[in-house]
Amino acid sequence: MNYRFLAVLLTVSLAIPFSPIAAQSTESLLQKGYAAQSLSNYSDAEQVFQRILEQDPRNLEAHVSLANAFYNQGKLPQAIATYEKAIQIDPKNAYLYYNLGITLAEQGNLEKAIATYHQALEVDPQFTDAYYNIGLAQYAQGDIAEGMSNFQRAIESNPDDSDAYIWLGKGYYFHKQVDKAINAWKKAIEVDDQAVYAYNSLADLYAEQGQYTDAIAYYHQALAVPDQQGIPISAHTLEDV
């Protein structure tokens, strides 16, 4: 499953003020860590953010960036532990629960991931992408009906969410509700004319029905999409704080 990983945008208020020299040193290290991450040197970034936390164990930016560095290296247990520490520092930050949920899902802990996404929604009930990722996790569990409900919630919050329409269409197709699947995939294309998976899904469906002219037309439209991605991936990428 391709979960949507959001950047965590933070305004950090430190309980213990730094001296000007310490603050400058910390900022310099943060910039060094961000530069390493931008070059995909995640191991170097990890070392830099660890160094900051040795000096300032409650530095929220360093915790989040370290968690991101762990995630990008596939060190999921360390990423989870670091996000949890960040949440202790800022328990009202929906993005932290959200990114923790994604990491748990990547680890295969879907039940805890879903519960963590719900914690993000408790903080921010309009967090559209949380509904989307809950839907993905429920599909992975085989709970298609509940997954569809959450994709519908994602669409209610953001009617331009093409990927949610695509996954909703997959649910309808699974339940053999062909007309509804067609409508969902056409809606995905309406809001995003680059939705190659929707074109391919419609083409496959029409081919199954023997409507080959329509199938060929949608295959051609899929081929015309630049940088084809197949199954929809995240509209958001992991970024530095």
64-87 pLDDT, tens digit per residue, is: 999 999 999 999 999 999 999 999
Average pLDDT over residues 177-197: 97
Q: Taking the model in full, what pTM does it have? A: 0.81
Length of the chain measured in residues: 241
Comparing C-alpha atoms, which of 86, 135, 90 is closest to residue 113? 135
Least confident range from 8-17, 45-54, 119-128, 215-224: namely 8-17
Tell me, what DSSP letter sits at residue 24? H
Decide yes or no: CATH 1.25.40.10 for domain 21-91. Answer: yes
Any idea where the domains of the chain sit in the sequence? Answer: 21-91, 159-235
CA-atom Rg of the chain in angstroms: 21
Separation between Cα atoms, residue 112 and residue 104, nearest integer Å: 7
Q: What's the CATH number for 159-235?
A: 1.25.40.10
Separation between Cα atoms, residue 147 and residue 153, nearest integer Å: 10
Average pLDDT over residues 8-24: 37
Domains 21-91 and 159-235 share a fold: yes
